[in-house]
Structure 1
Amino acid sequence: MFDSAACVFPWVQKWDFGYVRRVGVAVGAEILIGGLLVSVAALAALARVLSIPYPIVLVLGGAAIGFVPGLPHVELDPEVVLVVFLPPLLYWAALSANFRDMRENLRGLTLSSVGLVLATMAAVAAVTHALVPGLSWPAAFALGAILSPTDPLAAGLVMRRLGVPRRLVSAVEGEGLFNDATALVAYRVAVAAIVGESFSLGRAGLVFVAGAVGGIAIGLVVGWLIMAVRRRTTDAQVSLTISLLSGYAAFIPANALDASGVLAAVTTGMYVGIRGVPVLPAPTRLQGVMVWDILTFLINAVLFVFIGLQLPSAVEGLAGHTITALVSYALSAAGVVILVRLAWFFVVPYIIRAIDRRQSQRARRVGARYRLVLAWSGMRGSVSLAAALALPLTTEAGAPFGPRGLIIFLTFAVIFATLVVQGLSLPALIRLLRISDDGAEEREELRARLAATHAALAHLDELAGQEWTHEDSVDRLRRAYEYRKRRLGVRTGKISDEGYEDQSLAYQQMVRAVLEVQRVTVLNLRNEGEISNEVMTRIVREFDLEETRLEI
Structure 2
Amino acid sequence: MHVELTLLVLVLGALAITAVCRRFDVSAPLVLVVAGIAASFLPGIEGLEIEPDVVLLVVLTPLLYSAALESSYLGIRANRRPIGLLAVGLPAFTALAVGLVAWWLVPELSLAAALVLGAVVAPPDAVSALAVGRRLGLPRRVMTILGGESLINDATALTLFRVFVAAAAGTAVSVLDGLWMFLAAAVGGTVIGLAVGWLVHRVRMHLHDARVESALGLVVPFAVYLVAEEAHTSGVLAVVVTGLYLGHHAPEGGYASRLQEQAVWQASDTILESVVFALIGLQLTTVIAQAGDAGRLVLYGLAVTAATVLARVVWVFPATYLPRALFRGVRKADPRPPWQVPAVISWSGMRGVVTLAAAFAIPATVPGRDTIVFLAFFVTIATLLLHGLTLPAIIHRLGVRDTSGEAQVLAEAQAQYAAVQASIGRLDELMTDSGGGATAHTAEKLRRFAQMRANQVWEQLGRPESETGESPGAAYNRLRREMLTRERDTFVARRDAGEIDDEILRRVQRQLDLEEAMLARDDG
Q: TM-score, normalised by structure 2?
A: 0.94
The reply to whether residue 448 of structure 1 matches residue 411 of structure 2 is: no
**CA 1:359/1:73 → structure 2, altered by over 3 Å: closer, same or farther?**
closer
Matches within 5 A, 1:129-278: 129-278=103-252
Three-state SS of the structure 2 residue aligned to 1:358 is helix
Superposed displacement of residue 60, structure 1: 1.2
Partner residue, 2:342: 371
Aligned to 1:457: 424
1:387 aligns with 2:324: no
Whether contact under 8 Å (2:321, 2:336) holds in the other structure is: no
Give the distance between the partners of 2:44 and 2:468, measured in 1 at CA: 65
Conserved? CA contact 1:166–1:441, under 8 Å? no
SS at match of 2:71: coil
Q: State the SS of the aligned residue for 1:198.
A: coil
Conserved in 2, the CA contact under 8 Å of 1:385 and 1:408? yes
After TM superposition, the structure 1 = structure 2 runs for residues 14-29 of structure 1, keeping only pairs within 5 Å, are 28-29=2-3
Q: Is contact 2:410–2:458 with CA below 8 Å preserved after alignment?
A: no
Equivalenced residues, count: 516
2:347/2:387 contact within 8 Å kept? yes
Please state if 1:413 is matched with 2:404.
Answer: no
Distance in 1 (alpha carbons) for counterparts of 2:412 and 2:11: 36
**Paired amino acid for 1:202:** L
Q: Counterpart in 2 of 1:336?
A: 307
Stretches (4+) displaced over 6 A? 497-500
Aligned mate of 2:450, from 453, 476, 481? 481
Q: Paired residue for 2:478?
A: 509
- With over 3 angstroms needed to count, the CA separation of the structure-2 counterparts of 1:363 and 1:132, relative to structure 1, is same
Q: Distance in 2 between matches of 1:511 and 1:307?
A: 46
State whether structure 2 residue 326 is matched by structure 1 residue 346. no
Cα deviation 1:78-108 (Å, max 9, x = unaligned): 0001122222222221121122221121111
Alpha-carbon distance, 1:308 to partner:
1.1
Gaps of 5+ in 2: none
TM-score by length of 1: 0.89
Contact 1:316 1:405 in 2 (8 A): no
The residue matched to 1:59 in structure 2 has which SS? helix
Shift of 1:55: 1.4
CA contact (8 A) 1:334 1:418 kept: yes
Q: CA deviation at 1:501?
A: 5.3
Deviation at 1:330, TM superposition (A): 1.0
The answer as to 2:516 corresponding to 1:547 is: yes
| Aligned equivalent of 2:48 | 74
- 1:105-144 alignment to 2 at 5 Å? 105-144=79-118
Letter paired with 2:377 = F
- Is there any run of 5+ residues in structure 1 with no aligned partner, and where? 1-24, 396-400
**Between Structure 1 and Structure 2, whose CA radius of gyration is higher?**
1
Tell me if the contact between 1:333 and 1:414 (Cα under 8 Å) persists in the aligned partners.
yes
Conservation of the 8 A alpha-carbon contact between 1:102 and 1:171:
yes
- Equivalent in the alignment of 2:78: 104
Counterpart among 294, 301, 312 of residue 267 in structure 2: 294
CA–CA distance in 2 between the matches of 1:547 and 1:43?
Answer: 29
- Superposed CA RMSD in Å reads 2.1
* Shift of residue 549, structure 1, vs aligned partner: 2.0
Question: SS at the partner of 1:366?
Answer: coil
**Match of 1:13?**
none
Are the equivalent residues in 2 in contact too, given 1:181–1:260 (CA < 8 A)? yes
CA distance in 1, matches of 2:139, 2:319: 22
How far residue 402 of structure 1 moved from its aligned partner, in angstroms, is 4.6
Identity %: 39
Match of 1:427 among 392, 395, 414: 392
Matched, 1:326 2:297: yes
1:71 deviates by 4.1
Distance apart, 1:158 and its partner CA? 0.4
Q: Distance in 1 between matches of 2:49 and 2:278?
A: 12
User: For the Cα contact (< 8 Å) 1:124–1:337, is it kept in 2?
Assistant: yes
1:350/1:507 Cα in 2 relative to 1: closer, same or farther (>3 Å)?
closer
Contact 2:452 2:473 in 1 (8 A): no
Secondary structure of 1:232's match? helix
Q: Deviations over 1:405-428 (max 9, x none)?
A: 111111111111111110121111
